[in-house]
Amino acid sequence: MRRFFAFGLLLTALYTGLVAAAEPPARPAEAAYVTLPQRDRDGIGKAYFGREIAQVMGHQAAAWLERPERQEEERTDLLLSALRLRPGETVADVGAGTGYFSWRMAQRVGETGKVYAVDIQQEMLDLLMANMSRRGVAGRVIPVLGSTQDPKLPAESLDTILLVDVYHEFDFPYEMTQGMLRALKPGGRLVLVEYKGEDAYVPIKPLHKMTVAQVKKEMSAHALTFERTISTLPWQHILVFRK
């Protein structure tokens, strides 16, 4: 009888362990979302780590992403060089929009590489794939319709995930970052590019900018190691984290 009782306890413990492993980890208390009593005109009325989340830029403003002066203003060429992408790598452009960076990343990873282009607006992905076809890299770029809580990327498949001026617009930054973590290979990079919140002269609305301290604070809720800040861009920080 004792043997059967002990066996039953063992089965219960194993079942409990399996259920716990299957459930995603709870969001830490410090990463709680707070509903604000008053919403900023550019925000959604929800705060995360004391920062009001900005509204998403709709596909109606897609032309701004492809403006001719963007490279000179933001020195996007320096950003691509700083990433040091290599041929054959599998990477993701999360919040890809029209694919401004997707096709440039596709050029860097070459014919043996792969770029997952993630956006939550199908209209953006339609524009993106038209641009990829025009650039001749459609075969290397995979469009992914993500959700506000899940980038829907394959598990442990990515060397680098790039987010350019998009993290501050995530409705659910904790859940999205956890989803990206699941998609990174061990040692893979999460690279956030954000307009400098410390610099009042950067001509971007305040809610669409972030300080280095704020980004590092929010990433501290995840199993990420801060690697470095790259300060070569005139308007933006490049922050590199490792899984």
- On whether residue 150 sits in a domain, the answer given is yes
Within-domain flag for 201: yes
Structure letter (DSSP) for residue 23: S
Q: Does any domain span residue 75?
A: yes
**Three-state SS at 198:** coil
Instruction: Give me the number of domains the chain comprises.
Output: 1
Give domain status of residue 14, yes or no.
no
The tokens describing 142, both together, are 């995979």
Judge whether 6 lies within some domain: no
Query: Can you give the residue range of the structural domain that contains 107?
Result: 58-242
Torsion-angle region of 48 (φ positive above 0: left; ψ -120 to 50: alpha; else: beta):
beta
| Distance (Å, whole) CA 136 – CA 130 | 10
The residue behind tokens 């403006």 is 67
pLDDT, tens digit only, all 243 positions of the chain: 444 434 343 334 433 343 334 445 577 877 889 999 999 999 999 999 999 999 998 787 777 788 889 999 999 999 999 999 999 999 999 999 999 999 999 999 999 999 999 999 999 999 999 999 999 999 999 999 999 999 999 999 999 999 999 999 999 999 999 999 999 999 999 999 999 999 999 999 999 999 999 999 999 999 999 999 999 999 999 999 999
The answer to whether residues 20 and 213 touch, using CB atoms and an 8 Å cutoff, is no
- pTM of the full structure: 0.88
How far is Cα 87 from Cα 127, in angstroms, rounded to an integer? 26
Rg (CA), the chain: 20
Q: What is the CATH number of the domain that holds 135?
A: 3.40.50.150
Residue 91 in tokens: 């990477």
Specify the residue for token string 């992905």.
125
Give 154-165 pLDDT, tens digit per residue: 999 999 999 999
Q: Is residue 15 part of a domain?
A: no
As given in the structure block, the two tokens for residue 92 are 């993701």
Q: pLDDT tens across 47-76, in order?
A: 999 999 999 987 877 777 888 899 999 999
- The reply to whether 4 falls in a domain is no
Angle subtended at Cα 43 by Cα 34 and Cα 28, rounded to the nearest 5 degrees: 30
User: Within a domain: residue 115?
Assistant: yes
